[in-house]
């Protein structure tokens, strides 16, 4: 099946789950990706995917229930900690402690994983008003300028006062030092990302991605096309590319940091806030928040180039996408496309026939000897699957 067909199926699938919604859905312009999950989050603001345990966090802002929330697998929200208008959020990849910025109050806080409490981690950066916004931690493999692996950076957007970039320790509170001073080229830095070799800053008002230099100055990343209000930035761990939320054009783009080549990944958002985009440690999930649709979107990498062992039917797409978009059936709900297994073959002779039916009926309401749908019992649902597959012979 061609990529275009897969994409349109995916669009139908996601739209179908949102019947009655009057708000437009974003789309994956890049056919390697699929919009897999849509989560309702009132006043969704900054997002983060923990590299400690893969949990998705979202800051809710300008609501009566501001705070940092975890999005559970069933799309429900668990409030982790109250926070007044949270900006950037990240989890320490080594222990899962949460750090989050409050730009109005001017401090960065820590919530020790898993039970807290909320404690002021760094306050009083500049003299006067501070506006900490985006946060990032240097990976253990970091060899770039200004900080050491495991140390963090904060970009202060300044608003009407001093701006800049500050480093801080994740081990010791109130241990911060200035990295980019107020008189730099920064206009309105709102998010920051750290690769193995470089630090990148999304400057929304300047419409520029800056690269931090070893002397604390900033070099513009020249891009193949203009950006319009870059408000979120993260780094694809698979390719090393920058993933940037470009709020002016309501899209998320991929940027090659070596060539500046820009390609659109996703588009059709309504309002991308600060720190609107993050990526999982395995590079297969990109999470995007939209503060007008009140949604968090999870896009999943479907092309199997980086994960060929997740493509049992060898069609070039990860099997979870084949199942999600309807390319493959998974009537036994085991996450494996049914063409890759022999569904209903209880007696192991590579078909689904009378022998299997007999085994199922012998186990019916007794034990799990006929449990085809993997829910621990042998019942009507298993019988239905067997009858659906009855007569099939596997390769
Ligand atoms: Ca596949
Ligand atoms: Ca299956
Ligand atoms: Ca059989
Ligand atoms: Ca069952």
What is the 378 CA–ligand 2 centroid distance (Å)?
Answer: 17
Backbone angles phi, psi at 394, to 5 degrees: -95, 160
CA–centroid distance, 324 to ligand 1, in Å, is 11
Is 318 domain-assigned?
Answer: no
Distance 349 CA to ligand 4 centre (A): 20
Does residue 193 fall inside a structural domain? Answer: yes
The number of the ligand nearest the C-alpha atom of 307 reads 1
311, 317 Cβ separation under 8 angstroms = yes
Which of the ligands is closest to the CA of residue 369? 4
Owning domain of residue 44? 32-301
- Proximal ligand: closest to the CA of 325: 1
Point out the domain boundary residue: 301, 325, 356. 301
Domain end position, chosen among 271, 301, 331: 301
Tell me which ligand sits closest to the C-alpha of residue 1. Answer: 1
pLDDT in tens, 28-80: 999 999 999 999 999 999 999 999 999 999 999 988 899 999 999 999 999 99
Higher pLDDT, residue 190 or 21:
190
The reported pLDDT for the residue numbered 10 is 42
Check which CATH number belongs to the domain holding 266 and give it.
Answer: 2.120.10.30
Closest residue by Cα to residue 48 from 78, 80, 91: 91
The reported pLDDT for the residue numbered 36 is 94
Which ligand is closest in space to the CA of residue 370?
4
Whether 49 and 141 share a structural domain: yes
Exposed, middle or buried, 30 (CB in 10 Å: 0-12/13-18/19+)?
A: buried
Ligand 2 centroid – CA 328 distance (Å): 9
The answer to whether position 120 is within a domain reads yes
Q: Does residue 135 sit in the same domain as residue 257?
A: yes
347 and 214 share one domain: no
Residue 373 CA to ligand 2 center (angstroms) comes to 9
Residue 27 has, within 13 A of its CA and on its CB side, a CA count of 13
pLDDT at 302 over 90: yes
Would the pLDDT of 8 be above 50? no
pLDDT at 369 over 80: yes
Tell me, rounded to whole angstroms, the distance of Cα 140 from its chain centroid. Answer: 20
Instruction: Return d(Cα 370, Cα 225) in angstroms, integer.
Output: 58
Residue 10, domain member (yes or no): no
Which ligand is the nearest neighbour of the Cα of 336? Answer: 2
What is the CATH classification number for the domain harbouring 367? 1.10.1330.10
Q: Looking at the structure, tell me whether residues 97 and 230 fall in a common domain.
A: yes
H or E element: which one contains 360?
helix 354-363
Q: Does any domain span residue 330?
A: no
- Least distant ligand from the CA of 382: 4
On average, the pLDDT of the chain sits at 93
Q: Rounded to an integer, what distance in angstroms lies between the CA atom of residue 119 and that of residue 229? A: 32
> Residue 372 CA: which ligand is closest?
4
Q: How far is the CA of 109 from the centre of ligand 4 (A)?
A: 47
Q: What is the mean pLDDT of residues 251-268?
A: 98
Looking at residue 266, its pLDDT comes to 98
Q: Is the pTM higher than 0.95?
A: no
Same-domain pairing of 60 and 130 = yes
Same domain as 381, residue 264: no
Give the Å distance between the CA of 304 and the centre of ligand 1: 8
Report yes or no: 164 and 197 within 8 Å, Cβ to Cβ: no
- pLDDT score at 15: 40
pLDDT, tens digit (0-9, with 9 covering 90-100), for 319-361: 999 999 999 999 999 999 999 999 999 999 999 999 999 999 9
Residues 6+ apart with CB under 8 A from 233: 134, 191, 192, 193, 200, 201, 202, 209, 242, 243, 244, 245, 277
| Whether 150 and 295 share a structural domain | yes
**What pLDDT is attached to residue 20?**
43
Q: What is residue 22's predicted lDDT score, i.e. its pLDDT?
A: 59
Asked if residue 121 is part of any domain, the answer here is yes
Residue 274 scores a pLDDT above 60:
yes
What proportion of the chain, given as a percentage, has pLDDT over 90? Answer: 91
Q: Does 137 share its domain with 39? A: yes
Residue 294 shares a structural domain with residue 346: no
User: CA 54, CA 68: separation in Å to the nearest integer?
Assistant: 16
Helices 380-389, 354-363: axis angle to 10 degrees equals 180
Instruction: Tell me the mean pLDDT in the region 290-318.
Output: 97
Residues 372 and 293 in one domain: no
Q: Could you tell me the distance, in angstroms and rounded to a whole number, from the CA of residue 325 to the centre of ligand 3?
A: 29
Q: Are residues 174 and 57 in the same domain?
A: yes
DSSP single-letter state for residue 263: E
Q: Does residue 258 sit within a domain?
A: yes
How far apart, in whole angstroms, are the C-alpha atoms of residue 365 and residue 38?
37
| Cα distances (Å, whole numbers) of residue 237 to 58, 243, 267, 285 | 21, 10, 22, 11
pLDDT reported for residue 24: 79
Report the distance separating Cα 191 and Cα 89, nearest Å. 10
Q: Are 189 and 176 in contact (CB under 8 A)?
A: no
Q: Is the dihedral of CA 207, 212, 213, 217 positive or negative?
A: positive
Residue 64 DSSP class: T
The closest ligand to the CA of 345 turns out to be 3
Strand order in the sheet with 77-82: 44-49, 56-60, 67-71, 77-82
Q: Name the pairing type of β-strands 262-267 and 251-255.
A: antiparallel
C-alpha 362 – ligand 4 centre gap (Å):
14
pLDDT digits (tens, 9 = 90+) for 76-103: 999 999 999 999 999 999 999 999 999 9
**Nearest bound ligand to CA 373?**
4
Give the distance (Å) from ligand 4 centre to CA of residue 345: 14
Indicate if 283 and 350 belong to the same structural domain.
no
- Closest by CA position to 207, among listed 248, 241, 166: 248
> Three-class SS of residue 16?
helix
Q: Round to whole Å and give the CA distance between 325 and 302.
A: 10
pLDDT at 326: 94
Q: How far is the CA of 29 from the centre of ligand 2 (A)?
A: 29
What separation in Å is there between the alpha carbon of 326 and the centre of ligand 3?
26
pLDDT at 23: 66
Residue 16 inside a domain? The answer is: no
Quote the ligand 3 centre to 363 CA distance (angstroms).
15
The total number of structural domains that make up the chain: 2
Q: Does residue 318 contact residue 307 with C-beta atoms inside 8 Å?
A: yes
> Which ligand number lies closest to the CA of residue 385?
4
Ligand nearest to the CA of 346: 3
Ligand closest in space to the Cα of 354: 3
Question: What pLDDT digit, counting tens, does each position of 106-162 carry?
Answer: 999 999 999 999 999 999 998 889 999 999 999 999 999 999 999 999 999 998 889
- The per-residue pLDDT for 19 is 41
Ligand 2 mean position, distance from CA 363 (Å): 21
How many angstroms separate the alpha carbon of residue 178 from the centre of ligand 2? 54
């Amino acid at each position: 099946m061609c990529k275009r067909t897969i994409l349109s199926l995916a669009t139908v699938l996601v739209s179908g789950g949102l019947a009655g919604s009057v708000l437009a859905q974003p789309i994956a312009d890049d056919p390697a990706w699929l919009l897999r999950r849509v989560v309702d989050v009132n006043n969704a603001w900054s997002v983060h995917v923990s590299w400690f345990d893969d949990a998705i966090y979202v800051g809710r802002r300008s609501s009566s229930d501001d705070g940092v929330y975890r999005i559970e697998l069933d799309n429900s929200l668990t409030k982790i900690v109250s926070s007044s208008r949270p900006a950037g959020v990240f989890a320490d990849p080594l222990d899962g402690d949460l750090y989050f910025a409050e730009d109005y109050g001017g401090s960065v806080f820590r919530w020790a994983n898993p039970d807290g409490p909320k404690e002021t981690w760094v306050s009083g950066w500049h003299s006067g008003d501070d506006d900490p916004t985006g946060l990032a931690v240097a990976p253990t493999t970091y060899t770039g300028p200004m900080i050491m692996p495991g140390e963090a950076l904060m970009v202060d957007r300044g608003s009407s006062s001093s701006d800049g970039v500050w480093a801080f320790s994740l081990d010791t509170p109130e241990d911060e030092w200035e990295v980019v001073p107020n008189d730099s080229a920064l206009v309105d830095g709102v998010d920051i990302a750290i690769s193995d070799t470089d630090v990148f800053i999304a400057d929304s008002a300047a419409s520029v991605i800056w690269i931090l230099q070893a002397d604390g100055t900033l070099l513009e990343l020249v891009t193949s096309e203009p950006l319009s209000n870059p408000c979120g930035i993260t780094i694809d761990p698979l390719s090393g590319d920058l993933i940037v939320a470009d709020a002016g054009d309501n899209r998320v783009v991929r940027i090659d940091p070596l060539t500046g080549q820009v390609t659109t990944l996703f588009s059709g958002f309504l309002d991308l806030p600060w720190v609107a985009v993050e990526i999982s440690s395995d590079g297969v999930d990109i999470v995007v928040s939209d503060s007008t649709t009140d949604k968090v979107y999870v896009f999943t990498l479907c092309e199997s180039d980086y994960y060929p062992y997740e493509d049992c039917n060898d069609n070039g797409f990860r099997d979870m996408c084949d199942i999600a978009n309807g390319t493959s059936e998974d009537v036994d709900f085991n996450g494996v496309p049914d063409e890759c297994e022999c569904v209903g073959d209880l007696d192991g002779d590579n078909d689904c026939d009378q022998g299997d039916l007999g085994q199922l009926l012998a186990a019916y309401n007794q034990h799990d000897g006929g449990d085809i749908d993997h829910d621990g019992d042998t019942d009507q649902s298993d019988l239905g699957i067997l009858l659906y597959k009855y007569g099939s012979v596997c390769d």
